Amino acid sequence: MCGIVGYVGPSADTVALDVVMEGLARLEYRGYDSAGVAVIDADGVQMRKRSGKLVNLRDDIAAHPLPPTTTAIGHTRWATHGGPTDANAHPHLGGAEQRLAVIHNGIIENFHSLKTGLIAQGVSFTSETDTEVAAHLLAQAYTQSGDLTAAMLATVAQLDGAFTLLTVHADQPGVVVGARRNSPLVVGLGQGANYLGSDVAAFIGHTRDAMELGQDQIVTITPDSVSVIGFDGTPADGRRYHVDWDAAAAEKGGYPSFMAKEIDEQPHAVADTLLGRTKEEGELVLDELRVSEEALSQVTKIVIVACGTAAYAGMVAKYAIEHWTRIPCEVDLAHEFRYRDPVVDGHTLVVSVSQSGETMDTLMAVKHARELGALTISICNTHGSTIPRESDAVIYTHAGPEIAVASTKAFLAQITACYLLGLYLAQLRGGSSAVEAAAVMRDLREMPAKIQTVLDRMDRVREIARFMADTRSVLFLGRHVGYPVALEGALKLKEIAYIHAEGFAAGELKHGPIALIEPGQPVFVVVPGPDTPHDLHAKIVSNIQEIRARGARTIVVAQDGDEAVVPFADEVIRVPVSAPLLQPLLTVVPLQVFACELAVAKGLDVDQPRNLAKSVTVE
């Protein structure tokens, strides 16, 4: 989970370095514990690297400027092998003369044995990273072939694991060679200049024409050519596409943080995810779902695999999909799925949910599901990413780039896409399921406006958050689809405000957690609408009374017009009335705003919380 940028341009100037530094700033969300760049000039490889955020590297380059160049690579790191030190920062240099530089995202699993072999040959290492092994192997291979692409081909044949590698050599200015296996790499196609990046944000300020590389491919870019070969040496090609968002979409647009901006973009994220997915008469058409209706109608079981926030979207989906389709649906944390010997066969539909499309745990779960013969559908926000490519079909969420580490708009878009899938399956079943699906679609189309209403009412939530800046623990309760919302509210607070927070199913309280309640303990309660079946509303009102009686400070998220909660609530946060299964799209919003505002009140960096990275591409 590092960010990678490469550039080759027509003339030696400062453009190359500017492009790479700008790309690193846009990719910093992928990892931000150290950063570095390497450029080629007549004297060889010039390198700067610094631990800490990108600003440290920028200051270092300002103090010790780099020469004009045509060829540059840059890296922003999230440490895996070796701590976040200057020495472990990328690039790493290969060969005794240090004329080759490499940057890397991923993990080289067999690096120990490779390193032992290199040391035995007399190679000395300056870092604790797995990457440096690749640098030395590349340098050795270059000595033999005198060609960087051939050196990459020879090197990847020796590596196991997941990796994107970019390399430059002082003897081949104007060339950057990249390779990818189970880790992202896209090509930016410019006019007289070409680019490489972990994602298109790396070069979006310069070109919106991109090329997606396949697994196990090597790409060689020069200012006016892009050529691709497979790891077996045969010529290959990537899929060319035009990026439909621009640089402004990847910047803060006047907001204090990406997270604040992304929370505000949620009505659009949901509306865009719904866009173009129904015919005029309301029938759902999931065009990109390249799985036959026949295969889908034979599905007897659904398993949703995902991690973190995406898994909570999956939990919401379970309630909806089972209700609409009557197909049993399980939700698995992706990293647990393949180790528990899951019961999966050709009639099982495994749905992965992932914003980045690169989460290694989720990717491995999808691969495992395919090995077991399951049909796999990916719900994903990132075009060209690995998980959709490894799945039978994809439903893209159209949330736009999510830069803040804490997921917000992707969560709402994921829930929306899961609803679409559930409604589509219900439509396929026909009869009363199809009639209900059509009615829910009408309700779903009203949700973006309702989310906007919630956002317009957030002043009091912000006040509460600022008032609670010193709070040490917050509990979140919910029932039914409000339960995953409670879990998500707690996760947001933990990850960006570093406050201990727990989410519980409200019915579980008296089985243990109620012992945590002491006078003044803040508890958010996500209340289902009064028309939720099975008297759930009345049951949660009793739960609120139980904790209030023990001194809890209750902050209640309830629908407009729900007066039953008022006597037991210290604060009531109102959301518009909606169908019970669609409520998470509204009730989670105040919890996101609360976490964001509280973290800001504590003076924390909400976009880049400690110890985390946006895209978790290691298991």
Q: Which residues are known to be catalytic?
A: 2, 614
The Cα–Cα gap between 583 and 320 comes to 11
* Residue 71 or 354 having the CB closest to ligand F6R: 354
Site residues for ligand F6R, 361-380, by CB under 6 A, read: 362
Minimum CB separation of residue 523 from ligand F6R in Å reads 21
The Cα–Cα gap between 229 and 176 comes to 14
Q: Which stretch binds ligand F6R (CB under 6 A): 166-174, 351-359, 429-437, 529-537?
A: 351-359
105 near ligand F6R, rule: CB under 6 A: no
Build a one-symbol-per-residue string for 431-460: x at contacts with ligand F6R by CB under 6 A, - elsewhere: ------------------------------
Query: What are the C-alpha distances in Å from 283 to residues 164, 171, 415, 417, 422?
Result: 42, 60, 19, 15, 13
Q: Which stretch binds ligand F6R (CB under 6 A): 18-26, 38-46, 350-358, 418-426?
A: 350-358
* Residue 236 or 604 having the CB closest to ligand F6R: 604
Tokens 């024409």 belong to: 209
Site residues for ligand F6R, 310-339, by CB under 6 A, read: 310
273 near ligand F6R, rule: CB under 6 A: no
Look up residue 98 and give its two tokens.
Answer: 């240090």
355 near ligand F6R, rule: CB under 6 A: yes
The Cα–Cα gap between 499 and 602 comes to 10
Minimum CB separation of residue 478 from ligand F6R in Å reads 17
- The CB-nearest residue to ligand F6R is 308
Build a one-symbol-per-residue string for 399-428: x at contacts with ligand F6R by CB under 6 A, - elsewhere: -------xx---------------------
* Residue 305 or 558 having the CB closest to ligand F6R: 305
Binding test (CB under 6 A) with ligand F6R, winner from 184, 308, 484, 580? 308
* Residue 30 or 81 having the CB closest to ligand F6R: 30
Minimum CB separation of residue 571 from ligand F6R in Å reads 24
Indicate the residue type of 273: T
Q: Which stretch binds ligand F6R (CB under 6 A): 264-272, 356-364, 571-579, 585-593?
A: 356-364
Minimum CB separation of residue 357 from ligand F6R in Å reads 7
- Is residue 391 within 8 Å of residue 288, measured between CB atoms? no
69 near ligand F6R, rule: CB under 6 A: no
* Residues contacting residue 475 through CB under 8 Å, at least 6 positions apart: 490, 501, 502, 503, 504, 513, 516, 517, 521, 522, 523, 524, 552
* Residues contacting residue 72 through CB under 8 Å, at least 6 positions apart: 6, 7, 16, 17, 19, 20, 37, 38, 39, 40, 168
359 near ligand F6R, rule: CB under 6 A: yes
Tell me, what DSSP letter sits at residue 256?
S
Q: Is the CA virtual torsion 389, 186, 265, 283 positive or negative?
A: negative
User: What does the DSSP assignment read for 371-413?
Assistant: HTT-EEEEEESSTT-HHHHTSSEEEE-------SSS-SHHHHH
Q: Which stretch binds ligand F6R (CB under 6 A): 43-51, 92-100, 303-311, 566-574?
A: 303-311
Binding test (CB under 6 A) with ligand F6R, winner from 127, 149, 309, 583? 309
- Is residue 352 within 8 Å of residue 387, measured between CB atoms? yes
* Residue 155 or 359 having the CB closest to ligand F6R: 359
Strands 348-354 and 301-306: parallel
Look up residue 13 and give its two tokens.
Answer: 């100037």
592 near ligand F6R, rule: CB under 6 A: no
Long-range contacts of 242-247 (CB under 8 A, 24+ apart): 242/208, 242/209, 242/210, 243/200, 243/204, 243/208, 243/209, 243/210, 244/208, 245/204, 245/400, 245/401, 246/204, 246/208, 247/204, 247/205
- Is residue 112 within 8 Å of residue 128, measured between CB atoms? no
Binding test (CB under 6 A) with ligand F6R, winner from 34, 273, 325, 354? 354
* Residue 359 or 427 having the CB closest to ligand F6R: 359
495 near ligand F6R, rule: CB under 6 A: yes
307 near ligand F6R, rule: CB under 6 A: yes
Q: Which stretch binds ligand F6R (CB under 6 A): 159-167, 182-190, 302-310, 448-456?
A: 302-310
State residue 128 phi and psi, 5-degree precision.
-100, 10
616 near ligand F6R, rule: CB under 6 A: yes
- Binding-site residue total for ligand F6R (CB under 6 A)? 15
Q: Which stretch binds ligand F6R (CB under 6 A): 185-193, 222-230, 348-356, 523-531?
A: 348-356
Sheet containing 473-478, strands listed edge to edge, beginning at the edge strand earlier in sequence: 500-505, 473-478, 522-526, 553-559, 571-575
Minimum CB separation of residue 616 from ligand F6R in Å reads 5
N-to-C CA span, the chain? 11
Q: Is the peptide bond before 388 cis (omega within 30 degrees of 0)?
A: no
What is the binding site for ligand F6R (CB under 6 A)? Answer: 307-310, 354-356, 359, 362, 406-407, 491, 495, 615-616
